[in-house]
Every structure is written in C-alpha cells, then in structure tokens.
Structure 1
C-alpha cells in the first residue's frame, strides 16, 4: 500500500474515532497513538494516449465513456460515479456538465462537441446506474478503468491536468478545472517532462536573444489614451522625417 493510501485510511479512522469520542461512544481515541502519515510527493505518471485508444476496444461499453469523461473533463471517480443527465447543461456554444466536487463545491466543465453529443444521447438518469443510491460506487469505476486500460482512474485525471497545462501554460486554469482548493495540489498533478523543461529553456534563450528593450511608440501612446487616428498621424510624421 502506498503512502497516500495509508494516509487516506488513517484520516478516515481519525475522523471515525473522533466522532465516536465526541458523541460519548468511546472514552479513548486509539488514533492518538498512530503516527502521522505524510503525503507521498513523488510525481505520478499520467496515463498515455494509448490507454485512451485501448478503451475503444473494451468489451465493457461503459469503459469508453468513463475514460473520455476523465481524459477530457478531469473528473474524479467519485464525481463520475454519481454523474446524472440533469447535470448536463447548454452553454453559449455547446454542452457543459455541472460537477459536484468535494466539500459540496460545484464546478462547470465545458465538453467537446463529440462528448456533448454522447452524454446528451444517454437515457435520463445516472450515467452509470447501479445499486449504490441508484448509481455505481467509485470502486466500480476503478475496476472499469483498470480492467479496460491497465491504468488507475487518477492517471487519466493527471493526463487531463498535464495536457491542459501544456495547452494553456496556465496552472490557475488547470486548478479551476480540477476543482482544487490549493495551487500546490494542482502542481502535483502536472507532469513536466525533460522536453517541457527544454522548451522552457529554449524559450528563455529566444527571449534573451531579442531586444527586450525595443521601444514600441504606438504602445506608449495607447497607454496615454491617445486616439488611434492621432497616433497614426504622429507615427507617419516621424517615418516621413526618417
């Protein structure tokens, strides 16, 4: 068992025995003797593109939709297990879903046209019906994904985070899409490869190779709220003198 799984189990037991003590069901809390388990901060590898392709050929028809929602919307398995057709909404350009995240906090995730059409065609009700309050439990989602691809569900959430970061170069947008409270948590999801770091160094070198002090008079005049027509006249006058 990994450090993060142990930490999750310890937190669950701590919450349970804390409740038992507060309600008078126990006098002592055995978790007081259990040492703190620190989170494993090692970077976890995101799922590869091939894992998404593999899901297309899985016998379990739920697998492809499950993995598409994780890969394209970054959902947690607990969020995905309870996803309902009433959570699908129309936005200005297509479809989005309301995700009911941790701590009762909702967020809205835009969907691709393909994924929007798929979820809109589902029969009314939970995406994945089951016996857990009408839907499957999150452990079932884990088995569906692992059996279909060989990768755990969270690897696809990391893939979503990493791909979105590469596409936008904006960790704050990734944070909002994942529904994280802390940017530090989001940074743990972003997997920067050596190629990413090389691109950053090349970008820095290219920037320093240019004249960063180059003056753009039109930008200066714009900053002083000079009307565009006056700006053009001034610049034309300067160029004619040259």
Structure 2
C-alpha cells in the first residue's frame, strides 16, 4: 500500500467540495473520501490517467461483500461523472465497472441476552448509545448527531427528530426511560466530541463494539429494533420507524416470527 499522490489528493479534495456544494451530508462525504483514498493508495496511475481496465482490476481484487461493492461502485461513478462533466478527464473511467447485484442479506437481530450483557459492561454514556440503537433504531451517524434541540413533546409523549442518511429527517417516538435520559442531559450535543462538536459516527460505533461480543454491532441492534416493531405492527410501520425509502430494504432488517408464518399457513389451509 502506497501514499497517494498530490494529484489524487487535489482531485479528491475538489470532488468533496463539489459534493458539499450539492448538499451531500458529511457522512456521505467521509465515506466517499475513504473509498477514493483506498483506491488511490492501490493503483499506480493518477485519477485522470487510470484506465477502466485498471479500475475493474482493482475492484475485482478486493474481498468485498456485495453491498460494500455496490457502495464503492456508486462512489466511483459519482467521482468520474463529476470529473467528466467538469472537463478534468476525457473519459468517464467508471463506466467500465459492471453492475453489482444486491447481496442476499439476512436479518441479524442482536439477542436480548447479548444486549443486556453489553449494558452491564457499559458506563452511563455508552448505555445511552446502546439504547438509542436498541430502543429507537438509530444508526451510528444518527446517534452521533443527537441534540437537545431535537427533543419535542406532543400529545402522546416525547419524540426525537432524527437526522438520517441523505439529509432526510424522521420523528421517532421515545420510550419514557429513553426520553428521560435524554432530557436529563445538559443542553447541546448528547455526545460532545471533535467532529463538528459531537462524536464521530466511527467513534460511536467503536465504543459500542468494545462491549458487544463477537460480531454484534450497533447495526445489529438496529435489526433488533426493526424486528420488534414488525412483530407488533406491520412492514410499513417498521419502514417508517427505521427511516427506509424502500420496504425492500426493511425486509433485510426484520425477522418474520415463526408463529406468524405458522398461523398464516394454518389459516390458508382452512
């Protein structure tokens, strides 16, 4: 692995300026920067001389899961489309990349015993992080950005305005315990840090990984939330609570209870 050149550094910097000017959230910009820097360190050509064949060879050499591969392809398509449109390159290099089929992802909700064990190993701040994923279904980037200004009360209780992916917002009802914990914090960010005043999403995820065993993560706690919501309602409610644009995405998050399947089979059989 090599240090990337000044040409790559300038190209990535200018691309991210254009992304921010277009309203891309900081989480998207950070992800795309990481994708491009990973590429820049592993190819010998500059961004405007890299061939489509070399880009395909780089992607083909990586041991990525399908969703990771799809995400990298999206970044590269965006980067070279911007460069082609602005006249920085004569060919859109990323057009050489083949389409990537979605992976057959399966829900992986964290067992309650694992969650309870993680809570027991956590301090007060980390327990709140875990509860925001388990009880409210927040992503790590959303947890990082929780602010007291986003708490509000309506006729049925307290809710949190969540700043989700793609600058989309959703209102998530809070359990009484979670609402009380958030309301008890000082004014400002729930988790102060150096990333615009709050902790970075990466650090939030790392903190949780330190107390969650095996391969359980904040994301699998989010799967748990979606599965419990679906068990007590339907797919549309789970989709809204999780902040998904498509019900197909929500199906990746929720486990259909066996008793529901059995009940449907018996009912269909008369």
Counterpart in the other structure of 1:225: none
* Aligned 1:103-142 pairs, distance under 5 A: 103-142=166-205
Counterpart in the other structure of 1:161: 226
Counterpart in the other structure of 2:261: 197
5+ long unaligned stretches in structure 1: 209-242
Deviation for aligned residue 1:52: 1.7
Deviation for aligned residue 1:193: 4.8
CA RMSD of aligned residues (A): 1.8
Q: Which consecutive segments of 4 or more residues in structure 1 shift more than 6 A?
A: none
Decide which moves more: 155-164 or 40-49.
Answer: 40-49
| Per-residue CA distance 1:107-137 (angstroms, 9 max, x = gap) | 1111011001000011111111111111122
Deviation for aligned residue 1:69: 0.7
Deviation for aligned residue 1:88: 0.7
* Aligned 1:225-240 pairs, distance under 5 A: none
Check conservation: 2:119, 2:130, Cα contact below 8 A. Answer: no
1:9 aligns with 2:72: yes
Structure-2 separation of matches of 1:15 and 1:62: 37
Structure-1 separation of matches of 2:190 and 2:176: 18
Q: TM-score, normalised by structure 1?
A: 0.78
Check conservation: 1:85, 1:120, Cα contact below 8 A. Answer: yes
Check conservation: 2:231, 2:257, Cα contact below 8 A. Answer: no
Deviation for aligned residue 1:35: 1.8
1:102 aligns with 2:170: no
1:179 to 231, 243, 247: 243
Change (3 A) 1:152 1:6: farther
Change (3 A) 1:118 1:203: farther
| Per-residue CA distance 1:157-181 (angstroms, 9 max, x = gap) | 111111111112x111111111111
5+ long unaligned stretches in structure 2: 1-63
Q: TM-score, normalised by structure 2?
A: 0.70
Structure-1 separation of matches of 2:205 and 2:243: 20
Greater gyration radius: 1
Counterpart in the other structure of 1:33: 96
Task: Indicate the SS of the match to 1:56.
Answer: helix
Task: Indicate the SS of the match to 1:107.
Answer: strand
